[in-house]
């Protein structure tokens, strides 16, 4: 089947924006480190490397488990709360 592309037949276009418009990884990393610090864990940026791309919950849970801390869903919520607080000051316009 040889079909040419036509915008008239396109219903949607999906873009993977993470890393295209802004690199959010350092910011979410900073937020995750701050979150775990509230639980007494002194995580390092490289601790998260094995969990990049595994999803946001696994990202923080994997490091928590590495430090023998049981993951709690509120950790993910807190990570995003911190992320949203640091985002305006860190993002370049």
- Alpha-carbon distance of 86 to 2, in angstroms, equals 49
List the chain domain ranges: 39-93
- Alpha-carbon distance of 81 to 53, in angstroms, equals 20
* Active-site residue list: 16, 18
Which pTM does this prediction carry?
A: 0.75
pLDDT digits (tens, 9 = 90+) for 16-75: 666 666 677 889 999 999 999 999 999 999 999 999 889 889 999 999 999 999 999 999
């Amino acid at each position: 089947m040889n079909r040419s592309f036509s915008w008239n037949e396109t219903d949607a276009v999906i873009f993977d924006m993470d890393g295209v418009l802004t690199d959010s990884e350092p910011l979410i990393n900073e937020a995750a480190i701050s979150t775990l610090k509230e639980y007494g864990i002194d995580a390092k940026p490289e601790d998260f490397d094995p969990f990049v791309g595994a999803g946001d919950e696994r990202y923080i849970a994997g490091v928590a488990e590495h430090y023998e801390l049981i993951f709690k869903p509120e950790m993910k919520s807190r990570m995003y709360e911190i992320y949203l607080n640091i985002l305006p000051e860190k993002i370049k316009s």
